[in-house]
Amino acid sequence: MQDWTLVYDSYEPDQQKLRETLCTLGNGYFCTRGAFLSVAADMVNDQHYPATYLAGGYNRLQTEIADRMIENEDLVNCPNWLPLIARTEDGQIIDVPHAQVLKFRQELDVKVGVLRTDAIIKDPSGRETRVQTERLVSMADHHMAAIRLSITPLNWEGPISVESAIDGGVINYGVKRYRDLASRHLNVLASRSFHGTTSEDEMISLVAEMTQSRLRIALAARMQVLREGRAFDTERVVDGTGERPTETLSYVGVTGVPITLEKVVALYTGKDIAISEPEIAAQEAVDVAPDFDGLAEAHARAWSMLWRRCDTEVNATELNVQLILRVHIFHLLQTMSHNSIDLDVGTPARGWSGEAYRGHVFWDELYILPFLDFRAPAIARNMLRYRYNRLPKARQTARAAGLAGAMFPWQSGSDGREESQVVHLNPKSGRWVPDFSWQQRHVNLAIAYNAWQHYLTTGDHLTLEIQGVELIVEVARLFASLATFNAELGRYEIHQVMGPDEYHEAYPDSDGHGLNNNAYTNVMVSWLMETARIALDAMDVIRREELQSRLGLTDEETARWSDIETKMFVPFHGDGIISQFEGYENLQEFDWDGYRAKYGDIQRLDRILEAEGDTSDRYKLSKQADVLMLFYLFNKEKVAALFGKLGYEFTPEMWDRNIDYYMARTSHGSTLSYLVHAWVLARTRPQQAWDFFVKALSSDIHDIQGGTTQEGIHLGLMTGTVDIVQRCLTGLDVSTGVLQLDPCLIGPLTQLKVRTRFKGHSLDIVVTANAVTIHADQGWPEPVAVDIRGNAFELKPDETRTVTL
């Protein structure tokens, strides 16, 4: 592997679905998995799964499960535009999955966003053929995609046919544990052949509609055949009917002579702006579109501009750290880019690369938006707008629960209702069990935190006043209504919630659900109450008065916030250990060694224990960081200040003591767990932090989470690893209104370089073991306030400063 190219130099059928996920191509509007051109969903060996997903392309279906009717909203597998299938005269498919592979190389070039394959194959008749492909999903024109296929007979000649198709007969089949659920989300409304005004060749198109959301999708495709770079006439048969319109070209293959076929595709939907109708738009676009080279040139320019803003450089030579970081940035920008800004879409936990979590939006934006705030604030702002657009639904949900403010769901999709499963399948036991993860009210805290951090980073006062303050205030109202005053304690409590851990849904043997006084939630609520008041004070007076009037916000209400801010209850036990929740100390210790010896991989202990007839609710164990999330979001001094404001002592020794305590009781069943532990250990135990960082980097690229990556990337993990370099290792902090840097390099890292935007300033930062160099671009009239380990100064436009550490 090179620093820009993810390379596979052998064909491994059992690894193909993982590679399809990692080689997904997209542009923030739609994404297509990196499957071979000749395969359909493999329902026998489960080795291939071509799929295309629209950003925010959801549909709802009902299924009878465990004697009850349940409804799920899914990210829909859209019509497959990939099929470009070459065959010999006797029907043998000329492609890697259908032949003996003599030589193979596949490259994902993340610098220009192109997937390439070069293989030599041998069919059962002994015919050897070189097959080369290139593929892109245009970042320059988000409706366009293209394929180039080159076929060279090496020891034979004879008739060859190549079929191009748009397959509308697809279903959702990408996640095994969902396969008992209804899966046919599309109805094909029309397929046809047509002639354009620019291209002389006949082309094909297809229109499909989602069964419940009624979202209409139209695709159109044209195909051209080239020899030595020039078009030449071939026999052409077009069938524009059924669920799979096709266009087939036939020619005579000659030994040693490559023939190249180019397929250009346009995709539109009924939600697109500035169109009359999606089928007409797709047909017109594909008719006038450039050839593959023209599309590739514009596509590469668009990626070049993205990398200029978003590249992150490290000097580590081991473990392909530089490449993996770029692969992670690549997948982030394919999921959300400038092409997403006009779309009403959120931040999907698994990107748009697979069907895991049904494409839903969780709290993962907590790990994603900080990177975008510093690199592409307009994209981050759109992710916040997704939440703001669902504020009415969140208010409705809160009212239905007898609460104030706005209550956003743990899982969100199209309209902001709670999309968490009522029951979920445990693949280890085969049982459908109740799902209470909707009790994770802390997702609302993440939304408020992100809204405030966006303002601190960008200085975007208008967005704060129009969206941010309202989000923060309504979440504050929610938690103020959840908080009840315990006169005996003289403190406020919050009952029946879950923390980030997810292994604990209720107290052992209890009839109720949820837990009392989750420490992460309660401390964050104290932070929220203070931040809500500060955010209101940051508004223009007239806008603030208008908002207070519209929301009916009174002085009595904000006074209660101040009371909650200083009187939230936080449980402790032992020698200064923050209890994950009240009563945590009464749980049983878990037999970690015994279960590792018995099962090996114990990341998903919740499933293992349920299969044994037990429950993770009984034990002191965690899926991922819960208490330690406070250490992820705030530095040591801020954590001490938060506890001090509540009247609790928090000493530097307690920081390490709590890390040790919970690290020994965590199974790391979420990819986010390695990420958080790397962050919180970076300043005190750099080698241990490096070990966790390497595990986080390996999670998707090597699929170390039990085969889950083949169902979709983990976007929070991917972006979070880059943000470790951007914020954690540079010590980047803007909470005081000044750009503060306090580097801490870990492991073998001796140099890193990031490019950031802070309140409109574009800055290049280079960190070494001995110095920090910072440069401000031209074009911004005001200097930027910088503080590097106590060395405070103002950096003027086009100025460079170096501070020795």
What CATH number did the domain enclosing 657 receive? 1.50.10.10
Write the DSSP assignment of 612-641 as a string of letters.
Answer: TT--GGGBS-BSS-STTHHHHHS-HHHHHH
Same domain assignment for residues 683 and 792: no
Residue 30 has pLDDT above 90, yes or no: yes
Do both 241 and 299 map to the same domain? yes
CATH number of the CATH domain containing 92: 2.70.98.40
Q: Which residue has the tokens 């590097």?
A: 788
Question: Does 21 fall in a domain?
Answer: yes
Question: Percentage of the chain surpassing pLDDT 90?
Answer: 90
pLDDT tens for each residue of 733-766: 999 999 999 999 999 999 999 999 999 999 999 9
Residues 302-338: tens digit of each pLDDT: 999 999 999 999 998 777 999 999 999 999 999 999 9
Q: 134 in a domain, yes or no?
A: yes
Indicate the residue type of 691: D
Shared domain for 655 and 696, answered yes or no, is yes
Domain count, the chain: 3
Is residue 254 domain-shared with residue 393, that is, in the same domain?
no
Q: For residues 796 and 706, state if they share a domain.
A: no
Query: Do the Cβ atoms of 792 and 768 come closer than 8 Å?
Result: no
Residue 70, in any domain of the structure: no
Where a domain ends, among 307, 324, 358?
A: 307
pLDDT band at 1 (very low <50, low <70, confident <90, very high): low
Instruction: Pull the structure tokens for residue 450.
Output: 């992100």
Do 324 and 296 belong together in one domain? no
The answer on 233 and 105 residing in a single domain is yes
Q: At residue 134, what are phi and psi to the nearest 5 degrees? A: -135, 145
Q: Is residue 81 helix, strand or coil? A: coil
CA neighbor of 624 nearest in space, from 690, 683, 696 = 696
Q: Of 762, 752, 766, 751, nearest to 801 (Cα)?
A: 766
* Domain final residue, candidates 277, 292, 307: 307
Closest listed residue to residue 582, CA positions, set 668, 655, 514: 514
Torsion (CA) 542, 546, 548, 549 in degrees, nearest 10: 130
Helix (H) or strand (E) holding 26: strand 25-26
478 and 359 in one domain? yes
Mean pLDDT of the chain, nearest integer: 96
Tell me the residue range of the domain where 764 lies.
751-804
- The CA distance from 157 to 254, in Å, is 5
Q: Is this structure's pTM higher than 0.75?
A: yes
CA distance 479 to 287: 55
Strand-pair partners of 519: none
Position 418 in a domain = yes
Listed residues 694, 728, 762: the one ending a domain: 728
Q: State how far the Cα of 307 lies from the Cα of 298, in Å rounded to an integer.
A: 14
Contacts of 455 (CB under 8 A, 6+ apart): 461, 463, 464, 468, 535, 538
Judge whether 734 and 740 are in contact, CB under 8 Å. Answer: yes
If one counts every other C-beta atom within 10 angstroms of the C-beta of residue 802, the result is 13
DSSP secondary structure, 340-378, as one string = GTTS----BTTTTSS-GGGG-B-STHHHHHHHHHHH-HH
**Alpha helices (H) along 618-714:** 629-633, 636-645, 652-663, 671-681, 686-701
Q: What is the pLDDT of residue 426?
A: 87
231 and 122: one domain?
yes
Q: Which pLDDT tens digit goes with each residue over 658-710?
A: 999 999 999 998 989 999 999 999 999 999 999 999 999 999 999 988 789 99
Residue with tokens 């400063």: 801
- Percentage of the chain exceeding pLDDT 70: 100
Tell me: do 687 and 776 sit in the same domain.
no
For 246-252, what is the mean pLDDT? 97
- Rounded Cα distance between 716 and 723, Å, is 10
User: Is residue 778 assigned to a domain?
Assistant: yes
- Give the type of residue at 693: F
Domain-embedded: residue 745: no
69 is a domain residue: no
In this structure, are 658 and 800 located in the same domain? Answer: no
* Domain identity same for 342 and 301: no
Please identify every residue annotated as catalytic. 502
Token digits for 252? 């005579």
Over residues 495-521, the pLDDT tens digits come to: 999 999 999 999 998 887 899 999 999
Inside any domain, residue 67:
no
